[in-house]
Structure 1
């Protein structure tokens, strides 16, 4: 072979190696930045022991001719669970903890509700984010963080094949507080929850404590 071509081959190989190394460092740097941002976001969210917010939820499904929309109030009690109070177009209160989901009627009576597959992992992930338990979150999900602490986006992909068969991914958006949750299921169902008027919850009522199993 002509020495000129052998020289070109050597130059191309060297450039390829340098390009690979540069891309590797770029990927590692991007991962480190994403990890740093994720830890900063979790630290910020975990400063609030309990929050209240108004929500609007839109659910779309291939089985539905049009999206279903509901609205109401929610309460996140860090480390204990969530109260989901639907006010429109019907009234219903659900209490979700790491152990159970119950429906609460107007008289305060509770009835156990069987969780759909994937719901338990979603609830645990949200609790992990709000309590700063990042190790548990990353054990179950691959997490990608984008943006800044002031305005961020988190993308969660399930690691467990059993969960991944049902749940495609979850996206969280927020700033000081969580502002939006989007859940995509493998069957094409999409749930989009927008939160407004988010604030520190203040003291919980006796009924709220009872629903969440607090003393």
Structure 2
């Protein structure tokens, strides 16, 4: 079970998408060198994450663009997300094909375009790696400073209302699995960028984020992961 959940999520994020017709500007690792050279203080982290943390259930849309070293044009995918501080993260890619992930504290549920359900549990895993990725996503969304400091070296740049938070895994095994991460935004998070080991880069843009109580249909989305 070690690393299975983390690998499944990374593969899902990495491979989903379809090539676009026109080339787009590609971010480079060098653009973020100033960020990773600027260590974050605990006071600054607490202040930022208290500002941007999602304290209520939040729904929105995402678009992912992934640049692979072997392809000229990027891959595109898009869909919807739903986050609940109590229930976890529901993430549904809708184009170019449908697939759904439900991330909860100790489990990952995947539903493919044919309705086939695959579940993996971190219970009994010999290390924390199996459940770290779901916890990371929830920590970023909920502003869990203690979790982030435990597992990552953090850096921070702020200019007026704009900010960038950089994360580099402390665990060597995790470094090999997870790229460097950059979360950025203003009043809310707007973008998650992943800098891969092989010059692969993935950017997830978050839009239309709205907070408020879950309705009955949204509650049912999480029920699929609890069954």
TM-score, normalised to structure 1's length? Answer: 0.72
Counterpart position of 1:83: 90
Residue 119 of structure 2 is aligned to residue 123 of structure 1: no
Counterpart CA distance in 2 for 1:200 and 1:127 is: 16
Q: 2:57 aligns with which of 50, 54, 61?
A: 50
Counterpart CA distance in 2 for 1:201 and 1:107 is: 31
3-state SS, counterpart of residue 226 of structure 2: coil
Would you say the 8 A contact 2:68–2:200 is kept in 1? yes
Moved more, 82-91 or 95-104: 95-104
**Gaps (5+ residues) in structure 2?**
1-36, 123-128
Would you say the 8 A contact 2:39–2:156 is kept in 1? no
Counting only pairs closer than 5 Å after superposition, residues 27-42 of structure 1 correspond to structure 2 as 34-42=41-49
Alpha-carbon deviation of 1:148? Answer: 5.0
Counting only pairs closer than 5 Å after superposition, residues 64-213 of structure 1 correspond to structure 2 as 64=71, 66-105=73-112, 110-112=117-119, 120-147=131-158, 150-204=161-215, 205-213=218-226
Q: How has the CA–CA distance of structure 1 residues 201 and 189 changed in structure 2, closer, same or farther, with 3 Å as cutoff? A: farther
Counterpart CA distance in 1 for 2:140 and 2:105 is: 13
Q: Which has the larger radius of gyration?
A: 1
**Gaps (5+ residues) in structure 1?**
1-29
RMSD: 3.1
Q: CA offsets per residue over residues 111-160 of structure 1, 9 Å max, x none?
A: 22699xx7953432231233332111111001111115732110001111
Alpha-carbon deviation of 1:105? Answer: 4.9
Counterpart CA distance in 2 for 1:135 and 1:206 is: 28
Q: How has the CA–CA distance of structure 1 residues 186 and 119 changed in structure 2, closer, same or farther, with 3 Å as cutoff? A: farther
Bigger relative contact order, structure 1 or 2 (CA pairs below 8 A, ≥6 apart): 2
Counterpart position of 2:18: none
Alpha-carbon deviation of 1:73? Answer: 0.8
Q: How has the CA–CA distance of structure 1 residues 159 and 110 changed in structure 2, closer, same or farther, with 3 Å as cutoff? A: same
Alpha-carbon deviation of 1:109? Answer: 5.7
TM-score, normalised to structure 2's length? Answer: 0.68
Counterpart CA distance in 2 for 1:104 and 1:149 is: 41
